[in-house]
Structure 1
């Protein structure tokens, strides 16, 4: 089987438009998503849709297109081809199409984020999006939930050892951290994995819900009002570790690391964090287990 035998360029482009990719990106895909590309990368496209082979498939494509795909449009075309196949897997497992569209909405979001950072629509999140294609990560309401094995190289809470099946929570940039959206998302995840877990969770049902993010940084508590969305999110977790050296917050809060004097100060949080850093403070990140 080759890639074009289960997805044609028109199918791929229809999905791109359904997922509301920017029109200029869709126009680029018309030129990029040609049968020759899909056929040449058929095996890797299919490998992206399976949990055990998706990561090496991404690494293979990364090496294959290194220096040849500066805007990431060829990789994006292949990921969308794989997403068409993933949709069929969703349907075989009776996972609602709404969840597919919400999960694969990552592609338009990643493109918008890149445009905000660089001024151009580029696809630079292939290292992350293979999880969505492999039925490892699902957007359920406002949050994303990734089924995985706890790692030996990460902080873990008491009672959770390396290899333990867990759910990792990820917070998309467009997540609503409101009093109704957060409980709704966790409730949807409970129902989803109770129903689909036996088919999806090959290493056993998840034993804990973990999250590692700058949003759980203990240093943020003094900078936030109790009714802020980040505070609401944090109240659902017991913090068991912190990384004071993490600089991931620069990307998500400021669009990237810059000299202190050049940090954007358009929001109250940006202003509070910038002032905190100027006073010698740190942000870092925190690790929490859901209560």
Structure 2
């Protein structure tokens, strides 16, 4: 009886050691994958604040929470199993699917750019309609979650590339940790950004003159910051979409354009050695943005031309 108990305890200890080792593997894989996807996280953070621009302060955090839930659903319920299934059965389809997403992201960015430059944005609605309507809020959240889906797909694809070859359980655990950590980080930062004016207003009412000055500075600065983030968000859609397309072209073996872009980035970086990394990234981002601008412009042109031709026919 005692020997059976000791054997059971040995088995439990062995299982515990195996579980601990698995957790360590998952944690290490998640850390490596998350670090690799950090660049897209910055773009995701820049894109999101534009979706709560113009809403009443009491609805900002609830809208961000809804977008965050949609983002987490995208990553855990749709993209994670899809990524594992595609890797197992149709690995060749991942790159074309990502490129389709990149083309859509480029198109959406170009559409926003056309609206801003051409002054064709929808006219402001009355406050009770534009800011309080459940239908408007639902459309706002849907648009943000749709854009997030493309960015999340790239994040998950990058993360998956870092854990390829690992056991299925390790891959699943690592991707789930990356999905959760990135979603919390992105939407936590976004929530802090959009509530910064309220924080400033609170500080402006404090007794200490220095704190009041900081608060007033935040209150005056945040409208410009939000406007700047909105512009950066549109640019991020275009350059991230273009970047996905450039990487996809390279992965498909059509390396002329990607290699030319890499060569230009390296040459520019070598010319400015004290800012080597920044210059190289800037040239790559500009090249990717130009590619996204061209592809998005072509798609937008075609989609705008087709209704016009149908109406004239």
Q: Which has the higher helix share?
A: 2
TM range (shorter): under 0.3
TM-score, scaled relative to structure 2: 0.23
Compare CA radii of gyration and give the structure with the larger one: 2
TM-score, scaled relative to structure 1: 0.25
Q: Which has the higher strand share?
A: 1
